[in-house]
Amino acid sequence: KAGVTQTPRYLIKTRGQQVTLSCSPISGHRSVSWYQQTPGQGLQFLFEYFSETQRNKGNFPGRFSGRQFSNSRSEMNVSTLELGDSALYLCASSLDGQEETQYFGPGTRLLVL
Amino acid sequence: QKEVEQNSGPLSVPEGAIASLNCTYSDRVSQSFFWYRQYSGKSPELIMSIYSNGDKEDGRFTAQLNKASQYVSLLIRDSQPSDSATYLCAVLTSYNTDKLIFGTGTRLQVFP
């Protein structure tokens, strides 16, 4: 069974731009969670989508948004990029949101210049 | 106070020794605790989960939970160089919504 895939793997943007990241979950998984990982803050929860609905949300500004499609694929969007948004963005999929079945994708490394 | 705290390390242990990784958390009502391993340049992978006080063993790994002290630990017996990685403690908290809160991780180095 294929794992979680994320595209693109690397991205360079400039301040003020916006970016869209994509995540394809493991087949059959309906929950997709997004995390931001930085050296200083570690791994921080952004939001979780389940059956096309945002089920949980972390403490990030409204510039960070996401959505999930009927095939469970998910996208996250960051608008008006700031230097501090440079990070590794990880998505994780699970059958129904249970952490025991959660698998992480390889991540998208975003650099904001 | 951070919600989940870990010593950043590095924790250096010789091959064959027991590595002890510790984590404290602030949410008293947390019920679910997880340990993830993250190799450099890779994504985290779940290695242990624990929900009740006491020990839970899985191969060379033992997770220990003490809810009264808000403390969870991971013991790695017979440490191998391949265990060298960052270990992330994660706690499922219910402050506002159910979400997984991660510590910043402890880097473990196992030397031959």
DSSP secondary structure string, A65-106?
A: EEEE-TTS-EEEEE-S--GGG-EEEEEEEESSS-GGG-EE--
Regions of chain B with pLDDT less than 70:
1, 94-98
Could you read off the pLDDT tens digit of each residue along chain A, which spans 113 residues? 679 999 999 999 999 999 999 999 999 999 999 999 998 888 999 999 999 999 888 889 999 999 999 999 999 999 999 999 999 999 999 988 777 778 999 999 999 99
Q: Looking at the complex, does the CB of residue B44 fall below 8 Å from at least one CB of chain A?
A: yes
A56 CB neighbours in chain B (<8 A) are 97-99
Other Cβ atoms less than 10 A from the Cβ of B65: the count is 18
CB–CB contact A56 B34 (8 Å): no
To which H or E segment does residue B111 belong? strand B106-111
CB–CB contact A56 B101 (8 Å): no
Taking the C-alpha atoms of residue B82 and residue B40, their distance in angstroms, rounded to an integer, is 12
Residue A85: φ, ψ to 5°:
-80, -5
CB–CB contact A100 B46 (8 Å): yes
Around B19, how many Cα atoms within 13 Å sit in the side-chain half-sphere? 29
CB–CB contact A41 B44 (8 Å): no
Q: Looking at the complex, does the CB of residue A105 fall below 8 Å from at least one CB of chain B?
A: yes
